[in-house]
Each structure stands twice: as structure tokens, then as C-alpha cells.
């Protein structure tokens, strides 16, 4: 079964083993990718320099510059292409060295087709999101999941009109960004965008801020002051957390929206206003209306065109894109000469966290991690204890590694996980929630032998490998005998 991706990827397969290149190329093309190939280190470097690639599958031992030299050179030049190193000569030390140099993931030959396809899909999710293809929405919103595509389409549809918009969503989902997007795509984009947080001001002060006041209206009012409705004339007024407004002020807002005019506090004269209104709330306003805390007539005036933003936990596929956006922002703010990257384990921890604070919390965590990182790569230890602890303590369908587990308890958890995967370490380390190198180190310490279990599982499932003598389950044709890769 081919892996469905958001867009076709351009992948470079660099390996001196022609049989492996042919087999891997056939597999990746079945998955819908464009595939290039290189037979040595120099050709690999030249290909990357000539044009953009979305992913590099790199052998460790090649003629000319070896895999380590290629990675070091590319990272020194600032090339951010994700790199998946695949080798038949891997050891724990070599894996650690590769990851430190900037490799994103490491697989041992022979590689099962499904494992390779899944790992390729995971790495491709971290590609920088191109602005030109419409996957990045207006106003700085980022996403390519179906829910965000629906948000983008709704914004593009309503922006050219003057209709009032109600943006709903949990705290930190980007409601103000959506409001700015409506403004930027509207005919009013040359006018001001004025934002006010209704929850941040006492009701009396909020009334004065919105409608203005005249001199002598109250103690301290020594000058006439226009309100935000007037200040936003010709543009857009954004009322954030509209659900926090009290009943008295709701009545004044309703009149201002209906009549398109405001009266300053202490004045007897009304002033016409030309403003487009966008409101936002993290509350369920329909529930607030039914319980008598929010006026139904004001709700209907605001809810002319609703836009609902999904929580981050509902669009986890967008997390790699948001990670890259956050890292680019952190690197720019810190005036870093080289871009920031995130290790595969750190990405998995970030994807496994629940994010109650949504995108705002994710960006804050990554900003903090960027400060803690000594180099240009964020590792798992740079993330907050909250994120690391939640990911380690989450529920899974099988046994999961705990930092506090020790002795026979830890050994039993590893053995149980190996048995559940048929001895396949590439799947076991994901179930256990530990890094690949940690798993290998602990298997050696506990003298756990996985190859026997792997062979037993292979006999039971007859999972095809690239070196198989018949067509595998993905439809990859067999290679001639003289092209079969070595074990």
C-alpha cells in the first residue's frame, strides 16, 4: 500500500549498491515520489547543490566522500534537507555519530519496504512549507490538514465582504491571526486593524476604550478622546474574548453594530462609524445565550459568518510544519547565522504531547528549547520537563518505557515489546518511547537477543524484503540475480 502524502516529494537515493538503488527507486515511485539517484559521495553533493530535494536517503560507505563527510559538508553549507542514513555497517557508535552530525534518522539494511515508506513519510512531514502552493494560509496561519484548509477557504470567502465574523476556538489556536487574515484579504486592508482584548479591561474602562469619552465625563477625563470604533474607521475592529463582556456593555455594542454609530461617554451626540467587525471567543456562546449570560440578539449580529479554529491536538499532522515555523522565528530573533533543526526524538515527543495551550504553547516551548540548545539542533533534553514527562507517561497499546523502571522490570518491558513486534527493533523503540540508541544500549546491557525473534517473525509473516527472490507485497518486481544486494 502506498503512503499518501500532502504533495509529491523529490527524493535523492545515494548508494553505491546499484541493486539497492533500483529497488528503493521502484518503491518510492510507487509511493508517488520523484526519485533521483547518485552512486558516490561527490555525485550526491553535486545533485543537492544543483536543485532542491525534499529528502536524502544516504548510504554510509560510498566511493569518494563517505556518508559522514557528505552530511558534515551539507550541514556546514546550511543545507536543511532531511537525511535518512541507511547502512549495512551500522553500530551504536556510528548511529550516535551520524545523529550528532545532523542526520535525521538511521536505518539498518536490509530494510523492510513498509518500514522505509513509513520513515520516509515521517521525515517528509518536516519539510519547510512553501508559501507559493497555498498550503500556508493568510495572516501567518500555518497548516495543511483538512480542518485548516477549511479555515483558509472560509477566510478567503468572507474577506471581500463587509460581513461580521465570529472566530471561535480554544486559547492559543490563533484567533487573532485569523482576524488579521480577514483584514489583510479585504478591501479595507489599507485601513487600520485595531485589536482589543475585552477580558483584559474592567467594564467601565472597556466602555471608554471602545466608544471614547468627552472632557468631564468622569474623574480624570481632562480631554476629549475618540474610542476604538472611531480609530478603526475605514478598517477592521477586532474584539477578542467577546464572551467576557458584561450585559450592560453588550447592549451598547448591539446598538453600535446595528446603527453603525457610537456615542462617546458623557456626550449627547452620535458619530457615524465605518468599521468592519471581527469578534473572537474561546467560550461556547450558544451555551452562554441559553444560560442567559450573553444576549441572543448580539450573538446573531456577531455570528453572521462563523470561523472555527481546530485545537492543535486535532491536527497533529501540522506539528512538524509549526515546529519549523517556530524554529525559523527563534533563529531570526536570536540573529543566528545558521537555521535551527529538531531531532527526530524531539519531534516525536512534541507530537505526543497534548498541548492544552495549543500553538501558543508549542511556540513558547520551542523558543525556550532554542535558548537551551548549545548548537543548531534541538534535542529531547532541551524540551521542557512537562513535554518530556507527558510523552513518556502517555498510554499506548503496548508496554512503554519509563525512566524510573530498572532491573528486571525494565528488562521485562523491553522483552515484551520485542515479542510484540516479532523482534523488530525499528518498531520496538517507538513502542517503548526511547531513542533507538538507548534501546540498543539496554539490549546489550541486559543481554537481550533480538535476531532470533526477528527470524521467527519473518518465517511466520513472510514479510518481503528488497533482497527477496519474488515480487514483494508492494508490487516491486524481483531483481536479476546479478543485481541482488548483499546482506
CA distances to 173, 194, 326 from 184, in Å? 19, 13, 22
Give pLDDT tens digits for 1-23. 333 344 578 899 998 888 888 88
Clarify whether residues 92 and 164 are in a common domain: no
pLDDT tens-digit profile of 182-222?
A: 999 999 999 999 999 999 988 888 988 899 888 877 777 77
Residue 482 has pLDDT above 60, yes or no: no
Residues 246 and 301 occupy one common structural domain? yes
Would 453 be classed as within a structural domain?
Answer: no
* 63 within a domain of the structure (yes/no): yes
> Does residue 70 share a domain with residue 181?
no
- Reading the block at residue 119, the C-alpha cell is 520513515
Q: Dihedral angle at the C-alpha atoms of 353, 357, 361, 362, nearest 10 degrees?
A: 40
Asked whether residue 362 is assigned to any structural domain, the reply reads yes
**CATH code, domain with 62:** 3.40.50.2300
Q: Check pLDDT > 90 for residue 245.
A: yes
Question: Does residue 28 register a pLDDT over 70?
Answer: yes
Asked if 86 and 167 sit in the same domain, the reply is no
Same domain, 5 and 100: yes
In this structure, the answer to whether residues 279 and 340 fall within a common structural domain is no
User: Could you give the number of structural domains in the chain?
Assistant: 3
User: 3 and 118 share a domain?
Assistant: yes
Are 269 and 154 in a shared domain?
A: yes
- 325, pLDDT greater than 90: no
Report if residue 58 sits inside a domain.
yes
Structural domain boundaries, residue 322: 315-386
* pLDDT single digits (tens) 104-161: 888 888 888 888 888 888 888 765 544 333 345 677 888 888 899 999 999 999 999 9
Q: Is residue 336 part of a domain?
A: yes
CATH number at residue 352: 1.10.8.60
418 in a structural domain: no
CATH of residue 192's domain is: 3.40.50.300
Q: 215 lies in a domain?
A: yes
Whether residues 339 and 286 share a domain: the answer is: no
Specify whether 271 is located in the same domain as 160. Answer: yes
Q: Which of 35-49, 101-115, 130-144, 352-366 shows the lowest mean pLDDT across its residues?
A: 130-144
The domain boundary residue, chosen from 124, 156, 191: 124
**Out of 24-28, 42-46, 87-91, 289-293, which region has the weakest mean confidence (pLDDT)?**
87-91
From 267, 290, 309, the end of a domain falls on 309
Domain co-membership, 54 together with 172:
no
Q: What is the mean pLDDT of the chain?
A: 79
Residues 364, 296 share a domain: no
Distance CA 295, CA 167 (A): 17
Q: What's the whole-model pTM score? A: 0.60
Q: Is residue 436 part of a domain?
A: no
Q: Which of 276, 309, 342 marks a domain boundary? A: 309
Amino acid at each position: 500500500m502506498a503512503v499518501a502524502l500532502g504533495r509529491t516529494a523529490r527524493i535523492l537515493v545515494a548508494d553505491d549498491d546499484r541493486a539497492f538503488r533500483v529497488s528503493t527507486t521502484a518503491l518510492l515511485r510507487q509511493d508517488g515520489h520523484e526519485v533521483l539517484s547518485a552512486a558516490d559521495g561527490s555525485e550526491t553533493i553535486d545533485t543537492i547543490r544543483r536543485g532542491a530535494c525534499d529528502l536524502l536517503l544516504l548510504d554510509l560507505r560510498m566511493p569518494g566522500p563517505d556518508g559522514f563527510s557528505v552530511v558534515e559538508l551539507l550541514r556546514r553549507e546550511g543545507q536543511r534537507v532531511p537525511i535518512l542514513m541507511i547502512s549495512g555497517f551500522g553500530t551504536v557508535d556510528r548511529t550516535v555519530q551520524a545523529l550528532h552530525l545532523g542526520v535525521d534518522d538511521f536505518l539498518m539494511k536490509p530494510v523492510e519496504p513498509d518500514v522505509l515508506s513509513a520513515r520516509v513519510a515521517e521525515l517528509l512531514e518536516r519539510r519547510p512549507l512553501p508559501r507559493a502552493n497555498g498550503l500556508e494560509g493568510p495572516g501567518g496561519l500555518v497548516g495543511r490538514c483538512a480542518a485548516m484548509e477549511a479555515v483558509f477557504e472560509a477566510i478567503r470567502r468572507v474577506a471581500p465582504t463587509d460581513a461580521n465574523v465570529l472566530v471561535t476556538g480554544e486559547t492559543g489556536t490563533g484567533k487573532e491571526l485569523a482576524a488579521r487574515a480577514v483584514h489583510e484579504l479585504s478591501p479595507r486592508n489599507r485601513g487600520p486593524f485595531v485589536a482589543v482584548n475585552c477580558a483584559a479591561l474592567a467594564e467601565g474602562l472597556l466602555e471608554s476604550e471602545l466608544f471614547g469619552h468627552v472632557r468631564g465625563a468622569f474623574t480624570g477625563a481632562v480631554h476629549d478622546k475618540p474610542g476604538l470604533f472611531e480609530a478603526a474607521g475605514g478598517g477592521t475592529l477586532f474584539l477578542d474574548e467577546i464572551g467576557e463582556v458584561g450585559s450592560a456593555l453588550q447592549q451598547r455594542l448591539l446598538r453600535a453594530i446595528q446603527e453603525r454609530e457610537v456615542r462617546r461617554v458623557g456626550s449627547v451626540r452620535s458619530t457615524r462609524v465605518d468599521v468592519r467587525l471581527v469578534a473572537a471567543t474561546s467560550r461556547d456562546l450558544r451555551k452562554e445565550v441559553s444560560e442567559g449570560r450573553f444576549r441572543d440578539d448580539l450573538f446573531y449580529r456577531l455570528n453572521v459568518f462563523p470561523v472555527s479554529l481546530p485545537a492543535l491536538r486535532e491536527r497533529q499532522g501540522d506539528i512538524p510544519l509549526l515546529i519549523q515555523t517556530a524554529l525559523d522565528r527563534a533563529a531570526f530573533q536570536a540573529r543566528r547565522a545558521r537555521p535551527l533543526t529538531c531531532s527526530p526524538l524531539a519531534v516525536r515527543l512534541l507530537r505526543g504531547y497534548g498541548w492544552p495551550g495549543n500553538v501558543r504553547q508549542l511556540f513558547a516551548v520551542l523558543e525556550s528549547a532554542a535558548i537551551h540548545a548549545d548548537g543548531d539542533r534541538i534535542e529531547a533534553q532541551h524540551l521542557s520537563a512537562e513535554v518530556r514527562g507527558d510523552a513518556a507517561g502517555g498510554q499506548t497499546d503496548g508496554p512503554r518505557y519509563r525512566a524510573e523502571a530498572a532491573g528486571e522490570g525494565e528488562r521485562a518491558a523491553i522483552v515484551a515489546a520485542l515479542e510484540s513486534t516479532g523482534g523488530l527493533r525499528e518498531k520496538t523503540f517507538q513502542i517503548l518511547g526511547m531513542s533507538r540508541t538507548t534501546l540498543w544500549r539496554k539490549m546489550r546491557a541486559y543481554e537481550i537477543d533480538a535476531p532470533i525473534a526477528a527470524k521467527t517473525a519473518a518465517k511466520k509473516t513472510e514479510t518481503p524484503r528488497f533482497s527477496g527472490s519474488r515480487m514483494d507485497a508492494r508490487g516491486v518486481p524481483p531483481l536479476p540475480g546479478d543485481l541482488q544486494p548483499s546482506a
